[in-house]
Structure 1
Amino acid sequence: MGRGNEPPRLPEGSFAAWSRDRLALARRGAEECGDVWQLEPGVYVAAAAGPCEAVLRRAQDFPKESSPLFPPLRRSGGAPTPEEREERAYAHAARMRGLRAQAVAARIGEVASRTARFADQWPTGRDVEILPRVRHALAEIGVSYLFSEDAPALLPHAAQLFLAREVLVQPSRWVWPRWVPTPARRFRTRQQIAFTDALRPVVRRRRSSGRLGDDVLGLMLRPSPRHGLLPEEAILDTLPGITVATFETPSRAAGWILLHLARYPEAASLVAAEAAALPADPAATTSTHLGGLPYTQALVSEVLRLYPPSWLLARRAPRETQLADYTIDAGSTVLVCPYTAQRDAREHPEPDRFRPERWLSDAGSPTKPGAFLSFGTGPHGCEGTALAMAMLTLLTAQTARRHRLSEPPGPEPSYHVTTLEGLATAGLRLRATSRG
């Protein structure tokens, strides 16, 4: 126990040790210090399901920092005005109408067609670095889901936004104030302007023609009885971030899923058998077909449990508050760790074992509080969860239906783990052979 009302601290815990091996230190802190522990003064880690759930749901006590990767290009010179905050809230609500599970279900055929094409185009009989191919396939799905027939013109700009994101999150020796125009930030702004410039005529053409479209952009263009029409700039400001999000996080998850198909051939065969019932024409796939893939969905959930792509989420406490009977000082940072929370034996028996079957019973339902945090929860939970799960489930099913996967032979690992901005299988190489 820590002294007084302060969370315990790992004796060797420090940012230097954390930087050397984040996952190992996270596991050690949870095992040796408990549900909440202290990495350094003013930096706490919520390591178990209960505290993680509490932090993510108590948004007033632990708000998410308002530092979007793609901040609005139009600036008011300070904090957002009440009008700007209202516009952003309305833009978010309009966007969410197109990302709810019901809206995703209506467009499952589009997702299935593109995941089938990814599987069909996988070169067989040789080792392939697969994540760039996965990312491109999922970007096609995500951008098409947002912009329909206008997606081909916007896809290259989405790829550049992703590159800007990757450049921006690279570790740096110096932490510059947000107002400093570093080269990475200037590159980000150039790509954001290019994307906005490509999207602006699409918005104007749709509005002038009255053919708004049934995609996410179309829903944002529709007037609201309360708010009327969203201003053009409010629409343009809100879309770069969600465009990248539709494929960036799912791509990390897909790497782990494909690796598990290679390492667990019996599980892959069960997925393949289930996927055999999918329509021969992927475009004919419906939400009913998706519901007929329970084992595939369980496998996806199990991989996400073990390797949550967003394995660490940062929140800040603006004032002194309580968490799991500990006092959290004002100004402190709380790191929410789904990676350790989802490997807690109190929540998941045999927590380190890959066992998709655990999700097929009511006891293993992902809806159990704190049991599944791979997409976050609470006010800032991932708004694209339904789309991501559909993409990952169908990508898994279509791939296993066509191929057996294996890792390259030899002593060298087929990937290396990266943890800086998410949990990923960087450089992953796999070989596909046809199931015939």
Structure 2
Amino acid sequence: MGRMNEPPRLPEGSFAAWSHDRLALARRGADECGDVWQLEPGVYVAAAAGPCEAVLRRAQDFAQASSPLFPPLKRSSGAPTNEERAHAHAARMRGLRPQAVAARIGEIAPGAARFADQWPAGQDVEILPLVRHALAEIGVRYLFSEDAPTLLPFASQLFLAREVLVRPSRWVWPRWIPTPARRFRTRQQLAFTNALRPIVRRRRSSGRLGDDMLGQMLRPSSGYGLLPEEAILDTLPGITVATFETPSRAAGWILLYLARHPQAAERVAAEAALLPANPAATTSTHLDSLQYTQALVREVLRLHPPTWLLTRRATRQTQLADYTIDAGSTVLVCPYTAHRDAREHSEPDQFQPERWLDDSGPPAKPGVFLSFGTGPHGCEGAALAMTMLTLLTAQTARCYHLSEPSGPEPSYQVTTFEGLATVGLRLRATLRS
């Protein structure tokens, strides 16, 4: 007999059932077992807003369970110290904070406009590759400015290495085994680093550090001074891929909702019509005026968080929602079910962008929103991602009516393994008159 304060368990709950339909089992667990439930012994799901927020904010009790997708490369000179990595992270954040993003909207907006201009109108198009390329151009340019064209091909290969590495497999190999996917990852990471190293050295030797995120990392801080070169290089592959990989998943859902909800798309188009004709003239004031567009983006992210499941490990025996969680247990944080909690959102399964607006104009904050996580390991690129997605949504609706292909076959497949995505999504764009 289990402990009295052990979370309830679904009778059919198991990894086999979980693998068959993870979204359906997550919903059923939340509905039948409550805010925290047990998938298997030692594996728990935080399904509601309160427990999800608690796990994500209590990093001392619930540590990130996975290793970095792009771990530091092995070098004869030695890896950066933990202190150097912490300072590199702080320097990186200086270039990604909301104020920094707001100051560079005029550099982000042209990429969103180019995506809209280059969409092949009048035909069914598999859209995610086009979205990913557009967002990669925007993200890499935000990080590296004029050096982006040099680094973009290497960033694309890093993304491919990520896709190969996270592909579902029957076997989970120990981290020390150099599988083909891991060797490919290392080769692409090394190629990216070798392309970036001369850029770092050229900027430092010339004194022209740049105003982009890399420039922020090259500037000495008052508390630490100059970052070692290796600390800068090691921290950049992961964030480079992150600038466009997760936003691409989100953009697929957003474009699908523009196609399925033409009245909402009309409201977005009306707002976007007031943007400058020259996208480079776009400012934070223009972005702030896209209130309904931002609300639509947030609502789609609420319904379909691109990172719908986060894994944490209990570092010690602790309490979660009045249950005892033993040290070493795995806790799966589920924004997907937390966002569908009727205690937080009225009619939670309905698409209602208006829920993010109030009568006075500025976006309201009703209840939980965990699409970018929260706490010490929340998404550091959240401001950049929201800006990219808002402008991409506005520029697309400004130019086109979107529709799904006619016919009995679905226009996409939902995948849940690494994130919530519309794989193979096909849409048709018709020019607005």
Both structures adopt the same fold (TM-score exceeding 0.5): yes
Helix, strand or coil at the partner of 1:105? helix
C-alpha distance in structure 1 between counterparts of 2:319 and 2:58, whole Å: 11
Which residue pairs with 1:287 in the alignment? 284
What does 1:175-324 align with in structure 2 at a 5 Å threshold?
175-324=172-321
C-alpha distance in structure 1 between counterparts of 2:298 and 2:383, whole Å: 13
Q: Does 1:35 align with 2:32?
A: no
1:66, CA displacement in angstroms? 5.6
Contact 2:291 2:363 in 1 (8 A): no
C-alpha distance in structure 2 between counterparts of 1:234 and 1:189, whole Å: 17
Which residue pairs with 2:70 in the alignment? 70
What does 1:130-141 align with in structure 2 at a 5 Å threshold?
130-141=127-138
C-alpha distance in structure 2 between counterparts of 1:326 and 1:149, whole Å: 53
Contact 1:9 1:40 in 2 (8 A): yes
Which residue pairs with 1:357 in the alignment? 354
Contact 2:140 2:152 in 1 (8 A): yes
Helix, strand or coil at the partner of 2:63? coil
1:225, CA displacement in angstroms? 2.0
- Cα 1:66–1:85 change in 2 (3 A) is farther
* Worse-matched range after superposition: 36-45 or 172-181: 172-181
What does 1:337-416 align with in structure 2 at a 5 Å threshold?
337-361=334-358, 367=365, 371-416=368-413
1:75, CA displacement in angstroms? 6.0
Contact 1:366 1:372 in 2 (8 A): no
Contact 1:91 1:238 in 2 (8 A): yes
1:330, CA displacement in angstroms? 1.1
Task: Render the CA deviation track for 1:232-277: whole Å, top value 9, x for unaligned.
Answer: 0000000000000000000000000000000000000000001110
Q: Give the counterpart letter for 2:9 in structure 1.
A: R
Contact 2:66 2:311 in 1 (8 A): no
Helix, strand or coil at the partner of 2:64? coil
Q: Give the counterpart letter for 2:69 in structure 1.
A: L
C-alpha distance in structure 2 between counterparts of 1:250 and 1:299, whole Å: 15
5+ residue gaps, structure 2, are none
Overall identity of the aligned pairs, in %: 83
Which residue pairs with 1:431 in the alignment? 428
C-alpha root-mean-square deviation of aligned residues, in Å? 1.7
Q: Does 1:153 align with 2:150?
A: yes
Contact 1:306 1:352 in 2 (8 A): yes
1:367, CA displacement in angstroms? 4.7
Q: Give the counterpart letter for 1:129 in structure 2.
A: E
Helix, strand or coil at the partner of 1:334? strand
Q: Give the counterpart letter for 2:102 in structure 1.
A: A
Q: Does 1:24 align with 2:21?
A: no
Which residue pairs with 1:87 in the alignment? 84
C-alpha distance in structure 1 between counterparts of 2:69 and 2:417, whole Å: 15
C-alpha distance in structure 2 between counterparts of 1:209 and 1:365, whole Å: 44
C-alpha distance in structure 1 between counterparts of 2:188 and 2:158, whole Å: 6
Tell me the TM-score normalised to structure 2 length: 0.97
Helix, strand or coil at the partner of 1:227? coil
Q: Give the counterpart letter for 1:395 in structure 2.
A: L
Tell me the TM-score normalised to structure 1 length: 0.97
C-alpha distance in structure 2 between counterparts of 1:196 and 1:66, whole Å: 23
Contact 1:48 1:344 in 2 (8 A): yes
Task: Render the CA deviation track for 1:76-103: whole Å, top value 9, x for unaligned.
Answer: 999x8xx711101100000000101110
Which residue pairs with 1:15 in the alignment? 15
Contact 2:127 2:425 in 1 (8 A): yes
C-alpha distance in structure 2 between counterparts of 1:329 and 1:365, whole Å: 40
Which residue pairs with 2:6 in the alignment? 6
Helix, strand or coil at the partner of 1:253? helix
1:303, CA displacement in angstroms? 0.1
- Cα 1:328–1:158 change in 2 (3 A) is same
C-alpha distance in structure 1 between counterparts of 2:292 and 2:278, whole Å: 22
Which residue pairs with 2:45 in the alignment? 45
- Cα 1:362–1:60 change in 2 (3 A) is farther
5+ residue gaps, structure 1, are none
C-alpha distance in structure 2 between counterparts of 1:352 and 1:224, whole Å: 47
Aligned residues: 431
1:224, CA displacement in angstroms? 1.4
C-alpha distance in structure 2 between counterparts of 1:6 and 1:117, whole Å: 54
C-alpha distance in structure 1 between counterparts of 2:118 and 2:386, whole Å: 22
- Cα 1:25–1:308 change in 2 (3 A) is same
* Worse-matched range after superposition: 49-58 or 68-77: 68-77
1:65, CA displacement in angstroms? 2.7
Contact 1:311 1:338 in 2 (8 A): yes
C-alpha distance in structure 1 between counterparts of 2:363 and 2:322, whole Å: 28
